[in-house]
Amino acid sequence: MEVIIRSDGVAIATIVADTISSLLTRKPDAVLGLATGSSPLAVYDELARRYEGGRLSFSRARAFMLDEYVGLAAEHPERYRNVIEKEIVSRVDFAPDAVQGPDGLAEDLPAACAAYEQAIIDAGGVDLQLLGIGTDGHIAFNEPGSSLASRTRIKTLTEQTRADNARFFDDIEQVPRHCLTQGLATIMSAKHLVLVATGRGKAEAIHRMAEGGVSAMWPASILQHHPHVSVLVDDAAASRLQLAGYYRQTYASKPEWQGL
């Protein structure tokens, strides 16, 4: 796991956008994993800017979303499909139907989850998965206690996550109680995982993820078992890291050719 500490979200977004740009140059039909939440927004802004400037195209790329609320109406602005559409898909040139998410409105939710797993496999797997992290260490919606071997399935949100996400709704009662989420093993199947986190509220989760024991209590800690993980954090999110000095030193002397 490579931990990179930068001063702010914009500096982080530049590095992540460089990585996605170089992937799409190398492999224009790459499969991207898109995350919701506020953490990746600066990355999406930077990708949209590069697309507008003619420096980047998603025309042959495909993308899979991490998760979705169960039961939010198709037109609800906080439905993750709509959030992703607004924040990135509508701003660049993905082909119609190139972006998929789990169907939180399916009548048969387990069947929708199985179909989603199959769709990812049929696409050849995810090349680069963007991730945020919850304050309780969840990735996608894999809450504490999630099986480290889990696949896409229905989950119940913790009260902590519902409270964290209430800012996007009129009040907490409107935050759904259930979601569909890629499992931890689904996420671990992606070739490159890129996790971004900013702010002091994420500091404990980042420390547990990178430096704690691997445990379902801190679901993101499973990333310690992945061979290619890049974690980009600002100074505040890095504030509990024991090896912060080492990570800074390593990045300062990182060879130019290496990329993430």
Contacting positions for ligand GLP (CB under 6 A): 35-39, 66-67, 132-134, 140-141, 161, 165
Q: Shortest distance, CB of residue 39 to ligand GLP, whole angstroms?
A: 3
Give the nearer residue to ligand GLP in terms of CB position, either 27 or 86.
Answer: 86
Is the CB of 19 or the CB of 165 nearer to ligand GLP? 165
C-beta of 110 vs 201, nearer to ligand GLP: 201
Catalytic residues: 67, 136, 138, 143
Are 142 and 216 a contacting pair, CB within 8 Å?
no
Complex with ligand GLP: residue 60 or 105, whichever CB lies closer: 105
- Minimal distance in Å, beta carbon 212 to ligand GLP? 18
At position 134, the amino acid (one-letter code) is G
Closest distance between ligand GLP and the C-beta of residue 84, in Å?
11
- Closest approach, Cβ 252 to ligand GLP, in A, equals 27
